[in-house]
Amino acid sequence: MRGDPHADGTTRLSVDAGQSSIRVRRSDPHGTHTSVLPGIRADRPATPQVVGVIRDALASAPPTTRTVSVAVGASGFDEDPAAAADLLLVEPTLTSARIAHDSVTGYLGANAEQHGVVAAVGTGVVILGCGTAGLARVDGWGYLLGDAGGAYWIGRAGLDAALRAVDGRGPATSLTASATAAFGPLPLVPLALQADPRRVERVAAFARSVTAAAEHDESAADIVMTAARELAGSIAAALRMSGMPKTQARVSANGKVVEADALRRALTTELREVGVELQPPLGEPIDGVDRLHDLPSSHPLQRVVSTADRVPV
């Protein structure tokens, strides 16, 4: 991260606000502090939730802080150019704000400022391409209509396989026992999940059971392979739409889901079949939020970043 906050008394606040969890990194003259909080609620506006996180983090900042710069990567951010200025209005302690969709900060975390494609695979999925033709965003349509290959998609497919095994539509699978352990008696699960405000998070969490079972369970393995194909197809679309040749693009994926061995192997295989090599991320999404503070004004990603600086009186 450029611009050492220790040198001038500045506090830098970086907020990676996803659906599964929120990570907050505060860098101030006393060091760097990281905390993890519950994720953004998909059924509520994202901005008030982020403001609350910022205020809580600033409450513990050292009183000697002269300036506070905040950068936010948020699930649900709709590229409103006024969002950063609005944040300065509601939080007077801030001197500058940078806000972007978490796919943008995920990109910066995985690829830094290099051109290529990053698949941000968490509860949802957004594939972001950055190349000679500009930016390309693929999927990210939300858990009801898209996010193919993400944690919710995989978890839901795993529950579906378990329910099919129970009522005879599908083959026996170890996912039945896993689903019962995670959700309780399966005949009661549909109504219980509908009434649960954390249903998206809970279904997404079941993806871990599915990817783990893929090593020995045919139904789980089929789900993981299909997820990999969906992700590979989205990555190929992002390469094409951003104008990046396969041989020149840095292609990476981040998120807990693709850290699972079964899915990462399957995705690597699917991409190699179309001539694309999957590279390891250069850092984590929270590192990308840190990089947002110093993103050059000429970088293509600036087009989708809301920026505001408080004018000294």
Residue 144 and residue 289 in one domain: no
CB atoms within 10 A of CB 117: 30
Q: Alpha carbon 197 to chain centroid distance?
A: 20
**DSSP 8-state class, residue 225:** H
Structure confidence at residue 8 as a pLDDT band (50, 70, 90): low
Task: List pLDDT tens digits, range 12-34.
Answer: 889 998 777 889 998 877 888 88
Confidence of residue 1 (pLDDT cuts 50, 70, 90): very low
35 and 66 together in one domain: yes
Domain CATH for 88: 3.30.420.40
Q: What residue has token string 């996010």?
A: 147
Q: Could you identify the residue written with the tokens 């993400």?
A: 150
The CB density around residue 44, as the number of other CB atoms within 10 Å, is 11
- 């009183």: which residue's tokens? 63
Q: Are residues 24 and 129 in the same domain?
A: no
Round to whole Å and give the CA distance between 244 and 249: 6
* Calpha distance 279→225 (Å, rounded): 19
Give yes or no: residues 277 and 297 share one domain. no
Rounded mean pLDDT of the chain? 87
Do 193 and 271 sit in the same domain of this protein? yes
- The parent domain of residue 135 ranges over 113-281
On whether both 215 and 123 belong to a single domain, the answer is yes
Instruction: Give the span between the Cα atoms of 151 and 201, in whole angstroms.
Output: 9
Residue 18 makes CB contacts below 8 A (sequence gap 6+) with 39, 40, 75, 102, 122, 123, 285
Highest mean pLDDT, choosing among 91-105, 213-227, 245-259, 286-300:
213-227
Is residue 4 scored above 60 in pLDDT?
no
- pLDDT, one tens digit per residue, over 123-178 is 889 999 998 888 999 998 988 999 999 999 999 999 999 999 999 999 999 999 99
Mean pLDDT of the region 252-277: 92
DSSP letter, residue 293: T
CA distances from 97 to 74, 205, 294 (A): 13, 32, 11
227 shares a domain with 297: no
Band of the pLDDT at 231, cuts 50, 70, 90? very high
pLDDT, position 248:
82
> Is the whole model's pTM more than 0.75, yes or no?
yes
Number of domains the chain is built from: 2
